[in-house]
Amino acid sequence: LEPDKVVALAANPEFSGEKILEISPDLDLGAGYTFFNGTIGAGIKHLFSPTVNAAGMTFVTNQTAFYILGAYDIQISSVVLSPSMFVKKEINWTYHGTIAVAYKKYFTLGATLVYPSMRIKGFIGTKAVKGLSIFIAYDAGITDQIHNGEIFLGYGK
């Protein structure tokens, strides 16, 4: 990018049309390891906390974030029990504890508890075709009345 040719767009009209004077690089890193019936992983986003310099002011565009994941599959006859833990540090620490139950690897039902926001996310899904899964999830707060629903697709083994 040529900084003198890039125009910063902002909701604040004071900065609208200002040229970006400086752009700093960013880097995301992650690694994972799958073993027997488990997976562990860690990642970091925005390692350099990139900034943008416009109109004589410097803005941090993204804060550094850290992620850690651990999961394990327990086979019990035609059912697979999959407990997992996902920890992230963005602005605050957040912990996601999930339990999922898959029947014959085609139908999955599960729930996630998110702490400290005390939100519960329930989900149900199925493998639509080989490698493609479709899930419906619903998010409900224990301490508030905000609710969200979502549909997501996944591809993998």
Pair 152, 124: CB distance under 8 Å = no
Q: Residue 12 phi/psi, 5° resolution?
A: -80, 115
| CA dihedral for 123, 107, 128, 98, sign (positive or negative) | positive
Given this model, what pLDDT does residue 55 score? 66
* Residues counted in the chain: 157
Tens of pLDDT, residue by residue over 54-104, are 666 776 667 889 999 999 999 999 999 999 999 999 888 999 999 999 998
Judged against a pLDDT cut of 50, whether residue 8 lies above it is answered with: no
Closest by CA to 109, choosing from 95, 119, 98, is: 98
Q: How confident is the model at residue 19 (pLDDT cuts 50, 70, 90)?
A: low
Tens of pLDDT, residue by residue over 110-146, are 999 999 888 889 999 998 888 888 999 888 876 666 5
| 3-class SS string, the chain | CCHHHCECCCCCCCCCCCEEEEECCCCCEEEEEEECCEEEEEEEECCCCCEEEECCEEEECCCCEEEEEEEECEEECCEEEEEEEEEEECCCEEEEEEEEEEECCCEEEEEEEEECCCEEEEEEEEEEECCEEEEEEEEEECCCCCEEEEEEEEECC
